[in-house]
Amino acid sequence: MPVPSRRVVSAERVVQGGCVFFLRNATVDMDALAGSLSVSRATLYRVVHSRDRLLGDVLWRLAERLLAQACAETAATGVEGVLETTRRFTVAVRRARPFRAFLRDEPATAARVLFTPAGGVHARVVDAQKGILAAAGDQAWSPVDLDGAAFLYVRIVESLLYAELIHGRRADPATAERAARAVLEAC
């Protein structure tokens, strides 16, 4: 009797499929994604371990593209360049309809995925921000200052981007930028 073959799918293929699914549906449905990848749900979970982790990978992949574009379009250097990159990035995120719909429709999941190790997004954003700060040009942060500055800076930007999720109202971009500038100039 022949042994049924198991379909194998790479983590990269799952994340790519998850990105496509998310952009179309503003969520990731594991059953539907498994079907679109022609694998079982069990295989999908073996590859990604949890929906939160997959959502974290998907959201980071999409954010990473927006951040790279914002960095590429930034003309200024130093503190002004960091702030310009942030402005460009936050505008792009706020315009991303699937992401806004996800925040509105799944606030508890979004909070878990964005802010905790379950999704790993926050840690990746802090690491990316450290790279942006290191490349800023006119600042000489020590490694300890760089870690602290990146963490605080990201928390300020998160408070702007996710204000409705965190406390139910929009944050003022000008106030957030003043706070972000203060962190950058204090380090």
Region 82-105: mean pLDDT is 95
CA distance 106 to 95: 18
CATH number at residue 121: 1.10.357.10
pLDDT at residue 123 is higher than 80? yes
pLDDT for 137 equals 64
Whether residue 151 is contained in a domain is answered as yes
pLDDT at residue 3 is higher than 50? no
Q: Which residues span the domain enclosing 91?
A: 11-186
User: How many independent structural domains does the chain possess?
Assistant: 1
Buried b (16+ CB within 10 A) or exposed e, 4-35: eeeeebeeeebbebbbebbeeebbbebeebbe
Whether residue 4 is contained in a domain is answered as no
Whether residue 154 is contained in a domain is answered as yes
Whether residue 107 is contained in a domain is answered as yes
Task: Kindly report the pTM of this predicted structure.
Answer: 0.89
Cβ-based burial of 42 (10 A; exposed 0-12, middle 13-18, buried ≥19): exposed
Buried b (16+ CB within 10 A) or exposed e, 164-183: ebeeeeebeeeebbebbbeb
Whether residue 28 is contained in a domain is answered as yes
pLDDT tens readout for residues 35-51: 999 999 999 999 999 99
Whether residue 161 is contained in a domain is answered as yes
CA distance 6 to 108: 34
pLDDT tens readout for residues 50-73: 999 999 999 999 999 999 999 999
Whether residue 122 is contained in a domain is answered as yes
CA distance 21 to 24: 5
CA distance 135 to 61: 21
Whether residue 178 is contained in a domain is answered as yes
- Token pair, residue 113, equals 């995925």
